[in-house]
Amino acid sequence: MNPFLGEIIGTTLLLLLGNGVVANVVLNDTKGHGAGWIVITWGWGMAVFVAVFTVAAFSGAHLNPAVSVGLAVAGKFEWAKVPAYVLAQMTGAMIGSALIWLLYRPHFARTEDRDLKLACFCTAPAIRDLPSSLLSEVVGTFVLVFAVLFLAVSVFGLGALDALPVGLLVLAIGLSLGGTTGYAINPARDLGPRLVHALLPMPGGKRDSDWGYAWVPVVGPLIGAGLAGGLYLLLQDPTSVNFR
């Protein structure tokens, strides 16, 4: 399979299962309605596991622009390939979110809370404090990318055997750090679905797509990834960084 196609398929699976568990928990009259945060974090962790395992052999299963950038900063991935990977990740994120919109249409129609409808696509802060939210996304993504870098032994990224550790890593981040912003830790995971929410009609109506916040889950993860890649590089070769 072509790596570009692999990233599209993997990110589609990631968003289908990840935002699928959110929809199952927060929308009215689903079988999982009201199941809570633990179910959401476990669902996202397992979404990562399935997506990584499925396409790791073809693309390295980045599935996240922050991972691609972090690997490139650390010298584990070619910068020239980053734009194509990001395009594939954005495409897959939008496809996966559009499938959620299609599959849960009757439940969107029965849900009056338009904030909950938006939550099935993208993240939002528990307390609206942009500097704090930015820091949360930086730290959460730093943990993700820094740990992934020690798993990514190939020039592409992750292998199939790394799928479960990465899924458990995302579960740990969600349980420990996700309560502030909903732990986007992935620009494509947030921006792609947010675009889908903005573009598609919503049964029962919808609110705006919160574009005033949308930059946080894009910029924060990229900063966190860059810091993680830089620290990894420093630890591998302290002489590569000149502090003078």
The yes-or-no verdict on residue 18 having pLDDT over 90 is yes
Q: How confident is the model at residue 163 (pLDDT cuts 50, 70, 90)?
A: confident
Q: Which of 51, 48, 212, 42 shows the shortest CA–CA distance to 118? A: 212
Helix (H, G, I), strand (E, B) or coil at 214: coil
Dig out the tokens for 80 from the structure: 């020239």
Are 213 and 124 in contact by the 8 Å Cβ rule? The answer is yes
Task: Please compute the mean of the pLDDT values over residues 45-62 and round it to a whole number.
Answer: 95
**Could you tell me the pTM of the whole model?**
0.94
Nearest-angstrom CA–CA distance, 161 and 159: 5
Residue whose structure tokens are 């969600």: 174
Nearest-angstrom CA–CA distance, 35 and 26: 8
Average predicted confidence (pLDDT) for the chain: 93
Residue 160's pLDDT is 60
Residue 126's pLDDT is 97
The yes-or-no verdict on residue 242 having pLDDT over 70 is no
Dig out the tokens for 157 from the structure: 């990224």
Percent of the chain's residues with pLDDT above 70: 93
- State CA 75 to chain mean position distance: 22
For residue range 194-221, list pLDDT tens digits in order: 999 999 999 999 999 999 999 999 999 9
Would you identify the CATH topology of the domain 3-235? Glycerol uptake facilitator protein (1.20.1080)
Residue 157's pLDDT is 60
Are 132 and 53 in contact by the 8 Å Cβ rule? The answer is no
Residue 187's pLDDT is 98
Are 39 and 32 in contact by the 8 Å Cβ rule? The answer is yes
Nearest-angstrom CA–CA distance, 227 and 181: 20
**Segment among 25-29, 155-159, 162-166, 236-240 with least mean pLDDT:** 155-159
